[in-house]
Amino acid sequence: MMMLLLDIGNTNLRWALARSEDAFEVEVARHSGAVPLDVLARWEVLDPPSRLIVGNVGGAAVGESVRRVAHAYWGLEPEFVSVRAAWRDLRIAYADPSRLGVDRWLALIEAHASVDGAVLIVDAGTAVTYDLILGDGRHLGGSILPGIEMMRSSLLAGTQIPRIESEPSGRSWATDTGSAIAAGSVQAVAALADRLFEHLAHEAGAEPSMLLSGGDADRIASAIQAPCEMVPDLVLRGLARVVRELS
């Protein structure tokens, strides 16, 4: 059975064909509120999947676009997953689970299932989300920051500083304004990751793991002091796990 797994984020659409439990290749495209043309071209030549499983935080418009395409191409009704307060021994901290993004929930499911002990999940995209979970499955909650580009754009929009495309040199500081803004946005995201890692270690009584995901994960990895692991397909792996356990 071949499934098409789809993670619709605020900016990007990530998808993969799951032919086995663990092996799939992720493709990424900006969606702008609909299924983009390059993805349509790829999907048009696919062997029809048996199921289309979707996690969507990108809004109703792109979700409806996916629904129309799935009907037209394969006669399939997409299956949109939603957050549950409890999943196996994972327990969400939010009083209203529906206010937790389904992408964060799927990442928590995969992290808890695949890593022993406490885990800090950092998903760096349009926004940067941080979620803390103990080894017994208790979700402690999380934090959210603007993503790197959003942080830079909001600063430039509120000042007279001209936009200068620049990336950090690897140091925590810079010697010109554009580079200083670039360094500051990366260091802010990384510093909160390190701080939450320390707090989670104290809460758990042992060193936790840290998993990095999202489109900007590689931009912050070198700035984080704590040990961390890149898992770019964390949400899709969580989606695949949910489907397997429900089947």
- Tell me the C-alpha distance between 210 and 201, whole Å: 11
- Tell me the C-alpha distance between 64 and 232, whole Å: 26
pLDDT of residue 139: 98
Give the rounded percent of residues in the chain with a pLDDT score beyond 90: 80
Is 242 assigned a ligand-binding role in the annotation?
Answer: no
Q: Is 233 an annotated catalytic residue? A: no
Give the rounded percent of residues in the chain with a pLDDT score beyond 70: 94
Alpha-carbon separation of residue 76 from 52, 143, 202, 245 (angstroms)? 7, 36, 48, 21
Q: Is residue 90 part of a domain?
A: no
Half-sphere exposure of 178 (CA within 13 A, CB side): 6
Q: Is 122 helix (H, G, I), strand (E, B) or coil?
A: strand
Q: How many domains does the chain have?
A: 2
Domain with 168 in it: what CATH number?
Answer: 3.30.420.40
pLDDT surpassing 70 at residue 123? yes
Is 176 assigned a ligand-binding role in the annotation?
Answer: no
Q: Is residue 132 part of a domain?
A: yes
Q: Is residue 99 part of a domain?
A: no
Is 9 assigned a ligand-binding role in the annotation?
Answer: yes
Q: Is residue 97 part of a domain?
A: no
pLDDT of residue 165: 62
pLDDT of residue 180: 85
Tens digits of residue pLDDT in 136-186:
999 999 999 999 999 988 888 888 776 666 666 566 777 778 788 888 999
Alpha-carbon separation of residue 206 from 111, 123, 165, 184 (angstroms)? 17, 22, 41, 30
Tens digits of residue pLDDT in 126-137:
999 999 999 999
pLDDT of residue 141: 98
| Residues 126 and 222 reside in one and the same domain | yes
| Residues 136 and 224 reside in one and the same domain | yes
| Domain final position from 50, 80, 110 | 80
Q: Is residue 101 part of a domain?
A: no
Tens digits of residue pLDDT in 185-210:
999 999 999 999 999 999 999 999 99
Place of tokens 């959003």: 150
Strands (DSSP E) found in 59-207: 79-80, 86-87, 90-91, 119-124, 127-133, 139-146
Q: Which of 38, 89, 103, 136 is catalytic?
A: 103
| Residues 139 and 60 reside in one and the same domain | no
Is 126 assigned a ligand-binding role in the annotation?
Answer: yes
pLDDT of residue 159: 81
Range of the domain at 134: 118-231
- Tell me the C-alpha distance between 58 and 7, whole Å: 9
| Domain final position from 63, 80, 97 | 80
Mean pLDDT for the chain overall: 92
Is 103 assigned a ligand-binding role in the annotation?
Answer: yes
Tens digits of residue pLDDT in 25-66:
899 999 999 999 999 999 999 999 999 999 999 999 999 999
Is 102 assigned a ligand-binding role in the annotation?
Answer: yes
Is 129 assigned a ligand-binding role in the annotation?
Answer: no
> What's 45's DSSP letter?
T
